[in-house]
Amino acid sequence: MYLLWLRVAVVLYAGASFAAFPAVLNGRERWRSTCVHLGGLAVLFHGVSVVEMLALAHRWVPVGEREAESIVGLVVASLFFLMWWLYGAISLGIFALPVTFFIVFVPSLGTEKYVFPSAGVKNSWVAAHVVALMMAYVGLGFNIVASALYLVQERRIKAKPMPGGDSWWAPFEWLPPLDTLERIAHATLLFGFPCMTVGLVIGSVLGQSTPLGAAYFRDPKVIASFVMWAFYVLLLFVRSTTGLRGRKAAYLSGAVFLVMLAVWAANSFSSVHRFGAP
């Protein structure tokens, strides 16, 4: 039964993680309440699962990787709610709750590696994984282009070129207003984030279906992908909570773009997650 409680907790963690973003980034009280209630129920079911799991094993110390992952996830979620109860730090939820979800999601699949019912089903999951991540990369790519054009347009405006005049900035007269470029950069950032999250969740399922199991997640490209996701969350958080806009936001987007390039570069060192690999 402990797997049932753990799976219920995973679903609740997913809902709490979803609610945490509008609660923190937009300051919506209804979403804040939803996040806290769903997360609290998740911790309750998670705790029941851990106690039952260890009781059935007749020990109080985790042995396997999945047992350890489940307990680590419970500790992370519990610490978050302790900080929320003591200091009202709901903003930590956009980091703690998704991280807990990712940690606990793999153990919730079962004690053994996940097996797809057929090759066709597995290929569908692989296609969804690739499409979701490609959409995330496209969204971030458009964000970088819009941010770069923002910097160019800002420099052009400060140079105060004469309309129709012969200057170095004349070829850039077609650029949209700064506000338009800013909105495009922000919209594409919001588009790419859920795509990346879905891609990583599907990738977690695919990873568990390989002979490597949990060792799959120690691969450099997989690690780099999760690091990129963390930078993505940080970028959204900083832009929303500090009101970061304009040049500084463009520079921060550039930093995330460098992490994206690092993810692609890590493919050269990956032994199990290589483009074109069987």
Q: Are 197 and 173 in contact (CB under 8 A)?
A: no
User: 123 pLDDT band (50/70/90 cuts)?
Assistant: confident
The pLDDT of residue 7: 92
Q: In this predicted structure, what is the pLDDT of residue 200? A: 84
Average pLDDT, the chain: 80
pLDDT (average), residues 32-61 = 90
Q: Is the per-residue pLDDT at 73 higher than 80?
A: yes
Dist. CA 49–CA 5, nearest whole Å = 5
Q: How many CB atoms lie within 10 A of CB 64?
A: 12
Return contacts of 253-261, CB within 8 angstroms, 24+ apart.
Answer: 253/140, 253/143, 253/144, 253/147, 253/185, 253/189, 254/144, 254/147, 255/231, 256/140, 256/228, 256/231, 256/232, 257/140, 257/144, 259/224, 259/227, 259/228, 259/231, 260/137, 260/140, 260/228
Residue 77 has pLDDT above 90, yes or no: yes
Q: How many CA atoms lie within 13 A of 269 on its CB side?
A: 12
Q: What is the pLDDT of residues 170-205, one digit of tens each?
A: 666 777 888 888 888 888 888 888 888 888 888 877
Task: Please state the length of the chain.
Answer: 278
For residues 6-14, average pLDDT: 94
pLDDT digits (tens, 9 = 90+) for 125-179: 889 988 988 898 888 888 888 888 888 888 877 776 656 555 665 666 777 888 8
Is pLDDT above 90 for 9?
yes
For residue 115, give both structure tokens.
């097996």
Per residue, what are the HEC states of the chain?
A: CHHHHHHHHHHHHHHHHHHHHHHHHCCCHHHHHHHHHHHHHHHHHHHHHHHHHHHHCCCCCCCCHHHHHHHHHHHHHHHHHHHHHHHCCHHHHHHHHHHHHHHHHHHHCCCCCCCCCCHHHHHHHHHHHHHHHHHHHHHHHHHHHHHHHHHHHHHHHHHCCCCCCCCCCHHHCCCCCHHHHHHHHHHHHHHHHHHHHHHHHHHHHHHHCCCCHHHHHHCHHHHHHHHHHHHHHHHHHHHHHCCCCHHHHHHHHHHHHHHHHHHHHHCCCCCCCCCCCC
Map out the domains of the chain as residue ranges.
2-108, 119-266
pLDDT at 213 over 60: no
